[in-house]
């Protein structure tokens, strides 16, 4: 297992960003899919050891994310969501500088900088000042610096952000090439379902700081969640928590009617059991059908 986290909680002051995240990931390209604000970047920063979770544990390559960050970072590349450029630098100096920061000797870092810039298609612009780069070039440069030290695993946070369709296609192709040919495991965060479907075989869907679903994309696409529309009298928040425990997913809708997704391995009777154990009254109960596409759409929004 290359990444394993349990019950991760993280708040920025009063803002709860992660509310009990569990995940277990082995090889292959993994998508971290979720709408803006879901907690994707926070989770990535925690895996990198930039933020320490208030609760929960995690291991990457069997190293502890709280106490062994510097060891972990040797094996990990990171493409941040925001620009991380130093004005007045060109791509070669920038990339080799970051290589040195990851512990490479200067000459080797310089040699690798030229190689990775060539690989991402920036060889002709490698001596230009970074402030003159287009969005597409900036994303490719961020990708180059993430792999300069030959990591075993890279975290790519919204790699297609700000790109037009052609730029998006190019960066996704590079990512697929990295994950298939270079023997580097990738974890890609995105709010766009099609980015993840194209590049990944496994997905973790994050919504409001919680894992809404995770699994092989091919399996998840076949799965058909049952959808119920329910109205209850009682503590709605407690009811939602109970449902989350059985991996149900709740969407609050108008006038107190909740849409509840129940995973296929659960019997819908579980809703009534939860209600009776907690003295909720069910006022309204209608069954409909939902595919995982609906779950994606509800969770993530479709572009």
Interior/surface letters 51-62, b for 16+ CB within 10 angstroms, e for the rest: bebeebebbbbe
Q: Is residue 125 a contact residue for ligand ADP (CB under 6 A)?
A: no
Which range of residues in 33-41, 55-63, 173-181, 261-269 is near Mg ion by CB under 5 A?
33-41
Q: Is residue 41 a contact residue for Mg ion (CB under 5 A)?
A: yes
Q: Site for ligand ADP (CB under 6 A): which residue of 42, 125, 160, 185?
A: 42
Annotate each residue in 72-111 with x if it binds Mg ion (CB under 5 A) or - if it does not, as one string: ---------x------------------------------
Considering the complex, what minimum distance in angstroms separates the CB of residue 191 from Mg ion?
Answer: 8
Q: Helix crossing, 106-119 with 135-147: angle to 10°?
A: 140
Residue 218 burial (10 A CB sphere; 0-12, 13-18, 19+): exposed
Which range of residues in 37-45, 116-124, 232-240, 250-258 is near ligand ADP by CB under 6 A?
37-45
| 8 A C-beta contact, residue 202 and residue 28 | yes
Which range of residues in 19-27, 32-40, 69-77, 91-99 is near ligand ADP by CB under 6 A?
32-40
Q: Is residue 38 a contact residue for ligand ADP (CB under 6 A)?
A: yes
Interior/surface letters 270-286, b for 16+ CB within 10 angstroms, e for the rest: bbeebbeeeebebeeee
Q: Count residues near ligand ADP (CB under 6 A).
A: 11
Considering the complex, what minimum distance in angstroms separates the CB of residue 45 from ligand ADP?
Answer: 8
The whole-angstrom separation of Cα 146 and Cα 159 is 11
Q: Site for ligand ADP (CB under 6 A): which residue of 25, 31, 39, 199?
A: 39
What is the 3 state secondary structure string of 55-70?
Answer: EEEEEECCEECCCCHH
% helix, strand, coil for the chain, step of 5 = 40, 30, 30
**Sheet strands (E) in 197-242:** 202-207, 210-216, 226-233
Considering the complex, what minimum distance in angstroms separates the CB of residue 80 from ligand ADP?
Answer: 11
Considering the complex, what minimum distance in angstroms separates the CB of residue 70 from Mg ion?
Answer: 24
Annotate each residue in 11-30 with x if it binds ligand ADP (CB under 6 A) or - if it does not, as one string: -x--x-x-------------
Q: Is residue 145 a contact residue for ligand ADP (CB under 6 A)?
A: no
Contact residues for ligand ADP (CB under 6 A)?
A: 12, 15, 17, 34, 36-42
């Amino acid at each position: 297992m290359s990444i394993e986290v349990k019950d991760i909680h993280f708040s920025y002051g009063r803002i709860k960003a992660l509310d009990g995240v569990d995940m277990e990931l082995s090889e292959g390209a993994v998508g971290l899919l979720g709408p803006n604000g879901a907690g994707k970047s926070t989770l990535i920063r925690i895996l990198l050891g930039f933020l320490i979770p208030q609760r929960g544990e995690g291991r990457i390559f069997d190293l502890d994310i709280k106490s062994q960050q510097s060891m972990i970072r040797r094996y990990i590349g990171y493409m941040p969501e925001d620009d991380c450029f130093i004005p007045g630098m060109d791509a070669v100096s920038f990339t080799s500088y970051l290589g040195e920061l990851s512990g490479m000797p200067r000459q080797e870092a310089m040699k690798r900088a030229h190689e990775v810039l060539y690989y991402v298609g920036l060889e002709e612009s490698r001596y230009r000042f970074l402030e003159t780069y287009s969005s597409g070039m900036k994303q490719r440069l961020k990708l180059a610096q993430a792999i300069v030290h030959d990591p075993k695993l890279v975290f790519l946070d919204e790699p297609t952000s700000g790109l037009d369709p052609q730029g998006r296609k190019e960066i996704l192709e590079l990512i697929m090439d990295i994950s298939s040919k270079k023997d580097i495991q990738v974890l890609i965060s995105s709010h766009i379902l099609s980015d993840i479907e194209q590049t990944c075989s496994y997905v973790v869907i994050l919504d409001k700081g919680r894992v809404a679903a995770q699994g092989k994309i091919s399996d998840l696409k076949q799965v058909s969640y049952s959808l119920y529309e329910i109205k209850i009298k009682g503590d709605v928040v407690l009811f939602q928590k109970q449902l989350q425990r059985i991996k149900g997913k709740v969407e609050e809708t108008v006038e107190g009617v909740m849409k509840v997704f129940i995973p296929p391995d659960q019997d819908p009777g579980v809703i009534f059991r939860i209600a009776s154990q907690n003295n909720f009254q069910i006022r309204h109960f209608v069954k409909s059908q939902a595919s995982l596409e609906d779950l994606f759409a509800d969770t993530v929004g479709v572009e």
